[in-house]
Amino acid sequence: MSKVILLMLMFVAGALVAFQPSVNARLAQKVGLLESACISFLVGTTFLLLLASFLGRGSFRGLTQVSWWELTGGLMGAFFVFTVILIVPRLGTGPVLAVTIAGQLLTALLLDHFQLFGFRSIPLDASKISGAVLMLLGTWLIVRN
């Protein structure tokens, strides 16, 4: 797949992430906070199981070979969905996503720089640090009252 198509897919995914907190928060108004997070993951899991059944190329048998920490992604996702559902009605979708994106970017820069998880190293440089500072400034402008 070309880089342009990959970037377009990520743009669409990012746009959907902007909808998700509000959709889940509305669901929570009708069914409850934890229940909303649970339903969100249940619907997502069902969708992914269907995709894996028809399009998957791997095997769930490889699950026996993973380390315990490689299974924590689901816990991280659950924590994210729960906290977003909790906080969006109080602060709004824009501020919540601004802080989320800032946290993601800063963490990603460190993960890339220190080559954590065995992926390729992408060292920090002046332009990346400047971009991170600008992101933090932009985040502050969005969340301040």
Note the pLDDT tens digit of each residue in 5-43.
Answer: 999 999 999 899 889 999 999 999 999 999 999 999 999
What's residue 75's pLDDT?
Answer: 94
- Give the count of domains, the chain: 1
Residue 121: which domain range?
3-143
Read off the pLDDT of each residue in 80-91 and give the average, rounded to a whole number. 94
Looking at residue 103, its pLDDT comes to 94
Give the integer Cα–Cα distance in Å for 72 and 78. 10
Distances (CA, A) of 41 to 16, 80, 138, 142: 15, 11, 31, 29
pLDDT 10s digits, 101-136 = 999 999 999 999 999 988 889 999 999 999 999 999
Q: Which two tokens stand for residue 87?
A: 């906080």
pLDDT of residue 117: 87
